[in-house]
């Protein structure tokens, strides 16, 4: 059995941190404050993806169907590999079209000390004439943990509750409350959709680190199982912050898609959930394998 622990936090205060996601590094270091030493060193944390706590409908690739209240604030049961990705794309494809989906799914921005902060909740439909029909939506952060030692998981709910992410934490910014957590056995999932396709594509859910200033990290090339030239891929600088030190990383930016050049898509898929490349412990190198449906 290969366990991961999914975690969903609710933002209780505005957030002044990494705008693409709560970095795995931030989640790891927040957990380090509350976990005993033997537990904390063995934990790996994914990046935390932002999702609005909105009504939603499961995408056609999910094993569940229909709509559900506050889908962005829940952890639905995971039975297939595809189910893992429900909340992990910035587009959040489950947000309904019957509401203003792009407004619901973009962060409201507030200026704090000259820096952009994300609002922890948003109000819609406010007008002078009809205040009754407004509604408020909160933001949630979805991440998952895994461990070198299977006995370390699950992390208890008390330890996951009340973590803070991002800057200005002394002022309460980035405070979260635990909304839900559940264990998922990767070996027990259905990988059927990944078998028998003619071709596959790889979606870079988080950046892949090519080089890092962090001591002891080697430069790497893109994996052999990506069918693409490095020069065709967008790159972006990232940072690993550890205490007073900031280490710069060169990454292949997330959101891009490459063709799969390997021949074991299920094995690749299982490995890439727990991420590949440098700093995978802190959320980098998360990749989704998708079959390319034939016409």
If one asks whether residue 109 binds other proteins (CB under 8 A), the answer comes out as: yes
Binding mask 14-53 for other proteins (x = CB under 8 A): ----xxx---------------------------------
Site for other proteins in 193-252 (CB under 8 A): 232-234, 236-237
If one asks whether residue 129 binds other proteins (CB under 8 A), the answer comes out as: yes
Listed ranges 38-46, 109-117, 216-224, 283-291: which one lies at the site for other proteins (CB under 8 A): 109-117
Listed ranges 75-83, 126-134, 142-150, 185-193: which one lies at the site for other proteins (CB under 8 A): 126-134
The least CB distance from residue 223 to other proteins, in Å, is 18
If one asks whether residue 102 binds other proteins (CB under 8 A), the answer comes out as: yes
If one asks whether residue 293 binds other proteins (CB under 8 A), the answer comes out as: no
The least CB distance from residue 285 to other proteins, in Å, is 17
Listed ranges 6-14, 76-84, 129-137, 277-285: which one lies at the site for other proteins (CB under 8 A): 129-137
If one asks whether residue 136 binds other proteins (CB under 8 A), the answer comes out as: no
The secondary structure of the chain as a DSSP string is: --EEEEEEEEE-S-B-S-SS-B-HHHHHHHHHTTS-HHHHTTEEEPPBEEEE---EE--TTSSS-SEETTGGG------BGGGGGTT-STT-TTB-TTS-HHHHTS--EEEETTEEEE-SEEEES--SS-GGG-EEEEEEEEEEEEESSGGGPSPPHHHHTT-B-SS-GGGTTTBEEEEEEEEEEGGGSB-GGGSS-S-EEEEESS-EEEEE-STTPPP-PPPTTEES-GGGS-EEEEEEEETTEEEEEEEEPTT-EEEE--S-HHHHHHHHHS--STTGGGT---EEEEE----
Residue numbers at the binding site for other proteins (CB under 8 A): 18-20, 90-92, 97-103, 105-109, 115-116, 122-127, 129-130, 133-134, 232-234, 236-237, 253-257
């Amino acid at each position: 059995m290969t366990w991961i622990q999914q975690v969903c936090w609710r933002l209780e205060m505005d957030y002044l941190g990494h705008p693409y996601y709560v970095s795995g590094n931030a989640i790891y270091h927040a957990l380090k404050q509350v976990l005993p030493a033997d537990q904390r060193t063995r934990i790996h944390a994914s990046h935390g993806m932002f999702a609005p706590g909105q009504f939603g409908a499961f995408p056609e690739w999910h094993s569940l169907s229909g709509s559900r209240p506050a889908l962005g604030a829940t952890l639905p049961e995971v039975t297939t590999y595809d189910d893992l990705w429900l909340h992990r794309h910035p587009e959040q494809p489950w947000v309904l079209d019957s509401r203003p989906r792009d407004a619901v799914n973009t962060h409201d921005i507030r200026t704090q000390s000259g820096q952009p902060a994300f609002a922890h909740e948003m109000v819609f439909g406010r007008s002078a004439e009809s205040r009754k029909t407004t509604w408020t939506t909160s933001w949630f952060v979805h991440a998952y943990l895994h461990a070198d030692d299977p006995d370390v998981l699950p992390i208890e709910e008390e330890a996951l509750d009340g973590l803070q992410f991002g800057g200005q934490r002394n002022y309460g910014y980035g405070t979260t409350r635990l909304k839900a957590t559940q264990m998922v056995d990767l070996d027990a999932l259905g990988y059927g959709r990944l078998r028998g396709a003619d071709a596959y594509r790889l979606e870079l859910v988080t950046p892949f680190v090519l080089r890092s200033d962090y001591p002891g990290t080697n430069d790497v090339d893109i994996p052999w199982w990506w069918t693409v030239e490095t020069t065709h891929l967008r790159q972006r600088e990232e940072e690993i912050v550890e205490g007073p030190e900031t280490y710069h990383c060169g990454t292949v930016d997330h959101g891009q898609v490459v063709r799969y050049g390997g021949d074991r898509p299920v094995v690749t898929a299982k490995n890439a959930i727990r991420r590949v490349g440098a700093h995978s412990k802190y959320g980098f190198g998360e990749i989704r394998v998708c079959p390319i449906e034939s016409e």
